[in-house]
């Protein structure tokens, strides 16, 4: 089962810069004092929680996050510059675990929360710091201390944005496997999927949503028949339901009747599932039977005001367009939810 989005990273803070050992040598001051400046502190690596981030997908391609080293001190009392810090943006809900100790390093629960992942090293002192009344020409200068390095595991509990529903064998798992990195079991018998599987789908350069594949629904599912009902709660919070219809082996009328069965189960389950935005998808378009039935299916469902997408998980045909439609619906819902949250915040601040 894959309810968790994961990534692994090495976070490397910058080392402190070295202190400098130097003496002033000026024409008019032949025996100048110690003038070595301190090294700058190394930059630290921080995590920052950001509502605008939804997955850890972008971080998976990264190996290490490094902050800058502090600059070395120089002569004439010049201190080295501090290395810049790095802020790693992660979705709210991300937990950082130290890979070696298993300890939780940071638990990002709130928007804009900042947590230290690796502290930068401290700059070394220059020799100017070591001068005393009795020891006026110290040669000692300290090296900077190393920055902290650690391997961290990032974990994010996923909530599905979109849910795949349909009869057993409709091709739900095949679609999820086609469009995400999830690898659900696929087979030509009903109830192949026994538990929900989630996958992260990238549908544009900087846009993703989480798609849930749940076991197939059959008549009586809301009363506990089959398996699907137990998992309907996993799609309760989705922005959109994607209903897959396989017409490759039956008539369009039969496919519509099957569609009604599943819709009836969703309505009967309650929780507003029946009223959820819905996308209809005819599957297995690489098979001649499906191609033959598509026009009639579109006519029958079109008469009820439904648009029907057509895809093949086998060839990928139509998938891109479908993902754009799902992504658009998910986006709309997020925008509406953000606006609702804002107006609630406004109201409570007026109260
Ligand atoms: N030719 C063809 N076969 C497909 C396509 N999509 C799915 N199948 C086949 O249909 C069968 C069922 O696919 P699944 O993806 O397991 O269906 P499911 O809806 O997840 O089924 P359950 O988990 O039992 O509810 C498998 O044999 C798949 O290989 C497709 O686009 N083209
Ligand atoms: Mg399945």
pLDDT at 228 over 60: no
Question: Are 62 and 185 within one domain?
Answer: no
Domain hosting residue 209, numbered range: 162-347
pLDDT class for 2, splitting at 50, 70, 90? very low
Q: Each residue of 174-218: pLDDT tens digit?
A: 999 999 988 888 888 877 777 778 888 999 988 999 998 887 777
Instruction: Give the atom of ligand 1 at the shortest distance from the alpha carbon of 287.
Output: 1
The pair of structure tokens assigned to 272 is 């507003």
pTM: 0.69
Same domain, 177 and 304: yes
Burial class from Cβ neighbours inside 10 Å (0-12, 13-18, 19+) for residue 239 reads buried
**Terminal Cα distance for the chain, rounded:** 45
Q: Residue 92 pLDDT more than 90?
A: no
Domain boundary among 104, 126, 157: 157
Q: What percent of the chain has pLDDT over 70?
A: 92
Domain containing 28 — which CATH number?
2.70.210.12
Lowest mean pLDDT of 8-12, 76-80, 90-94, 121-125, name the range.
90-94
Residue 109 CA to residue 131 CA, distance in Å, equals 49
Maximum Cα–Cα distance for the chain, whole Å? 103
The enclosing domain of 198 has a CATH number of: 3.40.50.300
Place of tokens 């789908």: 201
Q: Output the average pLDDT for the chain.
A: 88
208-219 residue pLDDT tens: 999 988 877 777
Do 51 and 128 lie in one domain? The reply is: yes
pLDDT single digits (tens) 25-60: 776 666 678 999 999 999 999 999 998 787 888 888
Q: Give whichever of 53-57, 153-157, 214-218, 301-305 has the largest mean pLDDT.
A: 301-305
* Residue 1's pLDDT band (cuts 50, 70, 90): very low
Q: Which atom of ligand 1 is nearest to the CA of 164?
A: 19
Residue that finishes a domain, picked among 107, 126, 157: 157
Residues near ligand 1 with C-beta < 6 Å? 166, 168-174, 186-188, 190-193, 215-216, 283-284, 286-287, 312-314
Please give the distance, rounded to the nearest whole angstrom, from the Cα atom of residue 299 to the centre of ligand 1: 24
Same domain, 222 and 105: no
């Amino acid at each position: 089962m894959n309810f968790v989005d994961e990534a692994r990273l090495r976070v490397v803070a910058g080392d402190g810069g070295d202190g400098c050992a130097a003496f002033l040598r000026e024409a008019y001051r032949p025996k100048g004092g110690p003038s070595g400046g301190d090294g700058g502190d190394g930059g630290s690596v921080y995590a920052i929680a950001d509502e605008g981030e939804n997955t850890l997908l972008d971080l998976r391609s990264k190996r290490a996050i490094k902050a800058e080293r502090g600059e070395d001190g120089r002569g004439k009392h010049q201190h080295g510059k501090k290395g810049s810090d790095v802020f790693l943006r992660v979705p709210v809900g991300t937990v950082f675990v130290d890979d070696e100790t298993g300890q939780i390093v940071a638990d990002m629960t709130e928007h804009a929360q900042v947590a230290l992942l690796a502290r930068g090293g401290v700059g070394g002192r220059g020799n100017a710091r070591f001068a005393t009344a009795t020891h006026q020409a110290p040669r000692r200068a300290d090296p900077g201390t190393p920055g902290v390095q650690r391997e961290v595991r990032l974990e994010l509990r996923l909530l599905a944005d979109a849910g795949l529903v349909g009869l057993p064998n409709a091709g739900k798992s095949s679609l999820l496997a086609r469009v995400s990195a999830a690898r659900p079991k696929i087979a030509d018998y009903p109830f192949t999927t026994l538990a929900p599987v989630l996958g992260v789908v990238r549908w544009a350069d900087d846009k993703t949503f989480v798609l849930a594949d749940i076991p197939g629904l059959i008549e009586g599912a809301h009363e506990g028949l089959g398996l699907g009902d137990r998992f309907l709660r996993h799609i309760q919070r989705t922005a959109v339901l994607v209903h897959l219809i396989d017409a490759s082996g039956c008539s369009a009328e039969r496919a519509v009747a099957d569609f009604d069965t599943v819709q009836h189960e969703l309505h009967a389950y309650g929780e507003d599932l029946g009223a959820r935005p819905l996308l209809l998808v005819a599957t297995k378009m690489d098979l001649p039977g499906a191609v033959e039935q598509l026009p009639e299916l579109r006519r029958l469902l079109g008469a009820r005001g439904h648009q029907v997408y057509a895809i093949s998980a086998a060839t990928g045909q139509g998938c891109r367009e479908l993902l754009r439609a799902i992504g658009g619906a998910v986006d709309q819902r997020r925008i509406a939810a953000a606006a609702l949250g804002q107006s609630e915040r406004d109201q409570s601040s007026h109260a």
